[in-house]
Amino acid sequence: MDKFRVAVVGALGAVGTEMTKTLENRKFPISEFIPMDIESMAGKKVTFRGKEATVRAAKAGAFRDVDIAIFSAGSEASLKLAPIAVSEGAIVIDNSAAWRMEPGIPLVIPEVNPDALDGHKGIIANPNCSTIQMLVAAKPIHDKYKIKRIVVATYQAVSGTGAPAIAELKSQAKQYTEGKPIEVNVYPRQIFFNLIPHIDDFTENGYTKEEMKMVNETHKILDPAIAVSPTAVRVGVIRGHSESVNIETEKPFEVADIVKLLKKAPGITVMDDPSKKIYPTPLDCDGKYDTFVGRIRRDPTVPNGLNIWVVSDNLLKGAALNAVQIAETLVEKGLKSRKM
């Protein structure tokens, strides 16, 4: 079997760390693992499959021996470096928002639109975390019953912001329990024992960029005819995004059939037995690959209405895992390593 030289760009970040672990755990066929990060981090070590790999500075020239470069280093780095990496012969799977809405760049959730990968030109975008789990759950419903409209409210973990936000939530918890003043740096407000209805910058129309990602990425990935009305909220949870998703379909359905569809869909675990208090919470999904769906019930306020509750690990299916699954799908579709 062909093996690949795989770089993780932003290897020392919260998502980069998960990418390395996910590549290990899923036994991706790797001949050489190349961690990359900003110049000042070059020389540090990252352990991969029990061996130390040296962090390489991510810059022009660094990608000449790379088959697949998985980027999680922010939009600015991706905008600058992804085209360079492609020009040096690598395929880029980019976790930032930089390329997602660019025409001609595939935006891919392997369970939803794997064939968007065909004919890619080197850069493939990984969707936003909150979009991925919503669409994994929406896809089987849309295929059979055609979704017209989604009203979604999110409950998003701080790890989506990165390692400094995790540190801030934890240190605010410590400050609180020790009776010390609570320091606020990463978020506009204290996040511990609080929540903030504001993720990413606000846009002209009153929605945040995070909310508009859920609208625009749904249109690009699943169907431009699906109307999405989002509210994105940061909560004091470390890991695991939750979403209250209200769906209206064109065709009538039985709730039992929705449950059946979700149960057999790839990447979904149905956790739904209220009588036994079975429904997904963020802690139930921490470290898991699947998207978890519970609280599946009819919304009787519209002709074909449905409410579901969707939880997934935002660092895995929402980021690292989806990126690695894109690489796996490329291999399944015939990607070969460059012979050098």
**Which residues contact a copy of itself by CB under 8 A?**
149, 151, 153, 155, 169-170, 173-174, 176-178, 188-190, 193-198, 202, 205-208, 227-229, 231, 233, 235-238, 242, 244, 246, 255, 274-275, 277, 279-284, 294-302, 305, 307, 309
38 exposure class (CB count in 10 Å sphere: 0-12, 13-18, 19+): middle
124 SS3 class: strand
Q: Which residues are catalytic?
A: 129, 241
Look-up of token digits 């939803």: 112
The span from the CA of 166 to the CA of 234, in Å, is 12
Q: State in angstroms the smallest separation of the CB of 228 from a copy of itself.
A: 7
Task: Kindly tell me which of 57 and 153 has the beta carbon lying closer to a copy of itself.
Answer: 153
CB of 100 to a copy of itself, least distance (A): 21
For 101, the token pair is: 């809405």
Q: How far is the CB of 243 from a copy of itself (least distance, A)?
A: 9
- The DSSP code for 263 is H
**Least distance between a copy of itself and beta carbon 20 (Å):** 24
Q: Among residues 60 and 225, whose Cβ is nearest to a copy of itself?
A: 225
**Rounded distance between C-alpha atoms, residue 35 and residue 53, angstroms:** 7
Q: 266 or 274, CB closer to a copy of itself?
A: 274
Q: What is the sign, positive or negative, of the torsion defined by CA atoms of 51, 56, 58, 60?
A: negative
